[in-house]
Structure 1
Amino acid sequence: MKLNAVFYVILTTIVLVTLAVMVHYNLPFDLVFYTAVGGQILLIFTVYKVLTDNYKTDKTFDDWYEDFPVEKE
């Protein structure tokens, strides 16, 4: 199963929000530290996956936003 870049973005977000909750509740330092290091590595990997993802679209800058259609001249 091939995972797309959106999966890694969501996973990274969950890990880093969990890290913030861990810091808030003063969990042991080693757990917070290794979670932070893992989150940073996951963030770098996510950036790599997003930039190298083979995503194609037929939209251009002339299309503006999908929720605000602009008539083409």
Structure 2
Amino acid sequence: MKNSAMFWVAATTLALVVVTIMVTMDFPFNWVFYMTVIGQTMIVYMVYKVLTDEYTTDKTFKDFYEDHPIGNRVN
């Protein structure tokens, strides 16, 4: 199974939310510290995966927002 960029975005977000919960619940400093280091490493890897992901689309700037297209406006 290929790990997509969106998997890493979700996993990193979850890890950093867990760090926030751990701080709020007064977990021991070493647990919070190591989770923070792991989270920061995940951020670097996530950025790499997002920037090197082979995602292609046929959309252009002319398509603008899909929920409010510019091309079909009636004034």
Q: TM-score range by the shorter chain?
A: over 0.9
What CA distance in whole angstroms lies between the structure 2 residues aligned with 1:10 and 1:44?
14
**For residue 16 of structure 1, what is the aligned residue in structure 2?**
16
Q: TM-score under structure 2 normalisation? A: 0.91
- Shift >6 Å, 4+ stretches: none
List alignment gaps of at least 5 residues for structure 1: none
List alignment gaps of at least 5 residues for structure 2: none
Aligned positions, number: 73
Give the CA RMSD over aligned residues.
Answer: 1.4
What CA distance in whole angstroms lies between the structure 2 residues aligned with 1:67 and 1:7?
26
What CA distance in whole angstroms lies between the structure 1 residues aligned with 2:63 and 2:71?
9
Alignment deviations for residues 8-55 of structure 1 (CA, whole Å, 9 cap, x no partner): 000000000110010111100000000000000000000000000000
The answer to whether the aligner puts 1:63 opposite 2:63 as a matched pair is yes
**For residue 48 of structure 2, what is the aligned residue in structure 1?**
48
Percent identity between the two aligned chains: 51
Q: TM-score under structure 1 normalisation? A: 0.93
